[in-house]
Structure 1
Amino acid sequence: MNLQHHFLIAMPALQDPLFKRSVVYICEYNEDGAMGIIINKPLENLQIEGILEKLKIEPDPRDINIRLDKPVFIGGPLSEDRGFILHSSASEFGSSIRISDDVVITTSRDVLETLGTAQQPEDVLVALGYASWDKGQLEQEIMENAWLTAPASADILFRTPISERWREAARLVGVDIHNMPAEAGHA
């Protein structure tokens, strides 16, 4: 089982405040564990333009057709001051790692310098922090019914309204998440 480029979809019984009703995009999965970015928990009062202002990055030349008022996401509880940019794969930057044919993750400043310009990747999701699981930990959580897994969809990752991502990700595997019990049960 390789979960890279998959979604983890929190089951209704998962009550951890950060992960409750979350969708995590798995960026890396190997024998040492897993790393992912929560894609449906926006930070309050922080948008992409705010990050650019804090870093003193001025889009040049500014393309007024590109919106910078999109939210920045809580990527996870680790390295919350570090930026992770998921984007479409047409562009690669200094520290880009290709996750799939259509998704790349970049942590270098050069991708931020394209935001708001014609050089910006078509699809962009900016997150602060990430989530991580040690060897065997994620598999155990899946066996305990904390998570559903589904092959990732760039459409859900980048274009589905934030409030609908949890439900739509579950639908990828034929599950109506709202009809599932909030208590974990064992047959």
Structure 2
Amino acid sequence: MRTVVFLCEHQDEGSFGFVLNKNYEYTLDELVSGLDDLKKIPVYLGGPVQMDTIHFLHQYPDKIAGGYEIIDGVFWGGSFETAIDLIRNGEIDMGKIRFYIGYSGWGSGQLADELKEKSWLTVPASRPLVFHKKPSEIWKDALRHLGGEYEMMVNFPIDPQLN
């Protein structure tokens, strides 16, 4: 419900991405041993698949080797250890890196079918949406981008019967 997924890959074999706007109940230091010295870094619920994995999106291709560019200026992964060292040394703006537990995935043809059924609204991905200053507002800003009748949905209650 009101979930925004950043789709990173969409192929015939399957698709994957990360939920951008759902906070996870634990911080990074609570999930990964050896990070007790870090401040409380939020983790987002990337999706229900492989909830034993940590992923990250960032804007530091020159500092974090091994990342894969998803869209202009947004990179997935790379050296986790390097990212942590850069955070420890204060060399990373925490508004330009996000951590996720798990990911969202679809099998062959599954997402295409869901799109045909209009189960999802689509908006072009952008760096400002991925690294939104207020993740709880990403859904509203995505709808505003669609404009028209979709923009009106921003103010709808989750349960329209409560209106």
The question of a shared fold, defined as TM-score above 0.5 by the shorter chain, is answered with yes
In structure 2, C-alpha distance between the alignment counterparts of 1:73 and 1:105, rounded to whole Å: 14
Counterpart mapping for 1:97-136 below 5 A: 97-106=68-77, 108-110=79-81, 111-120=83-92, 123-136=96-109
Match of 1:37 among 18, 27, 41: 18
Higher RCO (Cα < 8 Å, 6 or more apart): 1
Give yes or no for contact 1:89–1:98 (8 Å, CA) kept in 2. Answer: no
What's the TM-score, normalizing by structure 1? 0.71
In structure 2, C-alpha distance between the alignment counterparts of 1:167 and 1:49, rounded to whole Å: 30
Segments of structure 2 that go 5 or more residues without pairing to the other structure are: none
In structure 1, C-alpha distance between the alignment counterparts of 2:78 and 2:87, rounded to whole Å: 14
Counterpart mapping for 1:94-173 below 5 A: 94-106=65-77, 108-110=79-81, 111-120=83-92, 123-173=96-146
- The offset of 1:153, in angstroms, is 1.6
Query: Percent of counterpart pairs with the same letter?
Result: 29
Counterpart mapping for 1:15-94 below 5 A: 20-44=1-25, 46-51=26-31, 54-57=32-35, 68-91=39-62, 93-94=64-65
The root-mean-square deviation of aligned C-alpha atoms, in Å, is 2.6
- 1:178 matched residue in structure 2: 154
Segments of structure 1 that go 5 or more residues without pairing to the other structure are: 1-19, 63-67
Structure number with higher helix proportion: 2
Give yes or no for contact 1:84–1:107 (8 Å, CA) kept in 2. Answer: no
What's the TM-score, normalizing by structure 2? 0.80
In structure 2, C-alpha distance between the alignment counterparts of 1:181 and 1:47, rounded to whole Å: 29
- The offset of 1:182, in angstroms, is 7.6
In structure 1, C-alpha distance between the alignment counterparts of 2:29 and 2:89, rounded to whole Å: 12
3-state SS in 2 of match to 1:113: helix
